[in-house]
Structure 1
């Protein structure tokens, strides 16, 4: 994405410097300064848009406000998601607490080793964890 923005910038700069409207019969050429003054005139004309079309300008302003609110809500959601992820990663696993059997809930006596994924129990890379079943061997 950033590459496209850089490419558009440099292409616009090159097009600004090069003359526009080159004709073979010696017609009028538009230079960079003339193009710059034309852009300034267009910007000044666009500034008066809200005076000429107040309804369209009001709707556009409401739309920009709505988009800003959506962007803030999205940024807050991303911030909360990243913050929750960092908070979970920063805390150590809690020690198992004795479970009291309550009505309607199943009690379990699992240790942290039981709850850990099998791949984290491997003593060395490539070796299966003790007591883990291996897949059946294929005949050679």
Structure 2
């Protein structure tokens, strides 16, 4: 179970770092930057409105600090600080969109590779006659023994004389 969780974490991280196709990369970066800025202001005790700048990148140290703070105070966290929950939901949504875009990119790449391989196999087989032409009747084994009508009967032992 721990292996699956670890694998899901690393795949999500890889997919999040792949370039996105659905939304523009600047939109996702803006959402993540706004979330990082807001988490920093919440940690500092500021209740200012969440505003994002489109040119900044997510600071991993701040994101890790926000995540560890959220995990340590999980019970009733959203009731006390709804702004942090809103921002966390935005971050999760942005990371999920990036992961989804990365998974779609990977799926399209694998699908293209499979289609190319099938096309190569079809091109190679085009010049040769088909070798799989036997029917099920052709594949049935032929009877090797004699037919039952021509087989001689099993000889019986001679009769014994009746004893008195």
Q: Same fold (TM over 0.5)?
A: no
Q: TM-score normalized by structure 1? A: 0.34
The structure having more radius of gyration, on CA atoms, is 2
Q: TM-score normalized by structure 2? A: 0.30
- Flag the structure with more relative contact order, 1 or 2, with Cα contacts below 8 A and sequence separation at least 6: 2
